[in-house]
Structures are given as structure tokens and as C-alpha cells.
């Protein structure tokens, strides 16, 4: 989600860069984010400018014309289960709040042009261990470590040969420590 706010050049598919899937809408032209458990198709009714200073933004008033809800987030009565949906709220700066796990931070990629989730090897993109948040952090770096630095890292750390699952577990531990570049090196071994 954060990675998709990067100012990529015109023509760059931000769905691909962010590792998300574009799903066709039923009524409106723009696609939806397939991974989102709830999606609204909306028609813009009015745009209200809220000022000229930085951060002022615009208030966009829309008419919801279609709602899509994934059955996996519904309870036995057909209502959205707040624990299952695990909503995320945007706070200030780089901060977000997860309804069931308190707060977490996702750095904004606005100052740099991240390589994107699509730059990761397929085994990492399809990992059963690495989360979407992990992939977003990996995709937010400016340059992928070169082969020489990966080999030097493996020698310095005296790393054994790791299978894919072990690579993902170690990479996730490094991500949790904020060591994104070394997490990349583990994935690229």
C-alpha cells in the first residue's frame, strides 16, 4: 500500500510495482485491488480543495455504486468480522494502526524510487513466510545488492547453504530488525 504512493513515471504499472493484482470493476473503468477484502466502486461527485499549503490535500466526495466483500471476512450472520478483516488505519507520517495488533510503521517511499515487489525473485514474492508488509519493505529499496556484496555477506556471516524456507525465515528476522539490505542478500543467496 505504501509503495503504491511512490511517484513513478507515467506508464509504470503501480499494481506490478506494489505486488498487487488489478481486478476489473463491474461498473466503473478503473480496476480494483484484488487483495483488498472490501472494495468500493465509486463515481466522483465533487473535489473540494482544502488549501494550497503542503499536506492540505483535497476532499473527494464520491457516490458508491458497487461494493465487493470477500466472504472470508464475514461472520456467521453475514456481517464483517472486525478481527477477520484486520483493518489498518492511516495515522500521521509513516505510522499506521492495525486494529488487532496496535500500531506499526511503514516508511513512505516518497523520497526515493523503490525497486518494487516485482524486482524480488519469484520464490520471495510467493513466499508462505514473508508477509505483504515484508515484501513492501523489500521493494522500497533504491537498488538491489550486487552479486559481489551478496557473496561477501555470506562469507562474512559464515552462512551454510540455506533452502528457500530457511532463507525466508532469516530474511524476515532481518526485516524485523530493520536490516533490509541484509534481508535482500539472504534472499539472493
Q: What is the pLDDT of residues 124-145, one digit of tens each?
A: 999 999 999 999 999 999 899 9
User: Does the pLDDT at position 8 exceed 90?
Assistant: no
Beta bridge partners of 67: 40
Long-range contacts from 150-159, C-beta under 8 angstroms, 24+ separation: 150/185, 150/188, 150/189, 153/182, 153/185, 154/185, 154/189, 159/186, 159/189
The answer, yes or no, to whether residue 110 has pLDDT greater than 70, is: no
Determine phi and psi for 127, rounding to 5 degrees: -65, 145
Q: Which residue has the cell 464483517?
A: 80
Q: Report whether pLDDT(160) > 90.
A: no
Q: Is the pLDDT of residue 161 over 90?
A: no
Amino acid at each position: 500500500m505504501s509503495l503504491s504512493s511512490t511517484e513513478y513515471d507515467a506508464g509504470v504499472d503501480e499494481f506490478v510495482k506494489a505486488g498487487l493484482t488489478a481486478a476489473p470493476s463491474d461498473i466503473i473503468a478503473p480496476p480494483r485491488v484484488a487483495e483488498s477484502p472490501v472494495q468500493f466502486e465509486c463515481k466522483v461527485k465533487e473535489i473540494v480543495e482544502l488549501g494550497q499549503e503542503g499536506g492540505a490535500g483535497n476532499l473527494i466526495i464520491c457516490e458508491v455504486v458497487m461494493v465487493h466483500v470477500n466472504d472470508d471476512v464475514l461472520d456467521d450472520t453475514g456481517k464483517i468480522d472486525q478481527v477477520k478483516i484486520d483493518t489498518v488505519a492511516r495515522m500521521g507520517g509513516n505510522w499506521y494502526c492495525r486494529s488487532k495488533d496496535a500500531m506499526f510503521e511503514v516508511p513512505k517511499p516518497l523520497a526515493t524510487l523503490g525497486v518494487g515487489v516485482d524486482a524480488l525473485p519469484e520464490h520471495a514474492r510467493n513466499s508462505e513466510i514473508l508477509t505483504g508488509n515484508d515484501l513492501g519493505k523489500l521493494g522500497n529499496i533504491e537498488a538491489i545488492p550486487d552479486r559481489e556484496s551478496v557473496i561477501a555477506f555470506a562469507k562474512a556471516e559464515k552462512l551454510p547453504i540455506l533452502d528457500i524456507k530457511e532463507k525466508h525465515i532469516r530474511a524476515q528476522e532481518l526485516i524485523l530488525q530493520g536490516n533490509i539490505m541484509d534481508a535482500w542478500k539472504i534472499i539472493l543467496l
